[in-house]
Structure 1
Amino acid sequence: MVLTACRIWHFAVENAHCSKAQAARWALGRRHRLTAVRQAIEQYERDPATVVDEHAIAELLDHVLAATAPG
């Protein structure tokens, strides 16, 4: 969910598709304090047992919703 949210955000801003990992790194470049994104990258690329904090997920989703809202 975290990586997909990053892809949605990336597409909304850049109007271009990219991989999950690329979108996550792009998101961190825009907001380096997104803990859920760091944890999701760790889980996706290195350690499937990495836990992604649910409060950090909520923070990311709130940010992506605000960043992609029309108007």
Structure 2
Amino acid sequence: MRTFLAFLFAGALCAQSPKTHENLNATLWSQTSAEYRGVTQTIYRGARTQLDRSLKDRKWSAFPQSGRYHKL
């Protein structure tokens, strides 16, 4: 009986767990989630609004400038 338990224990130590694909969860979530779709659409709309405002303002710059750069 001891020999059997020793082999059973040794076999359990050698057993490998099945490979999991953790990255697939993130892919599946981004492809099917309503939250992901809502967040990306909200961010896109906000960026589009900010871009429209920025293009109308001749004095606005994404990079800090000095002097009379807006007259260029």
Please give the TM-score of this superposition, normalised by the length of structure 2: 0.23
Larger relative contact order (Cα-Cα within 8 Å, sequence gap ≥ 6): 1
Between structure 1 and structure 2, the one with the greater Rg is 2
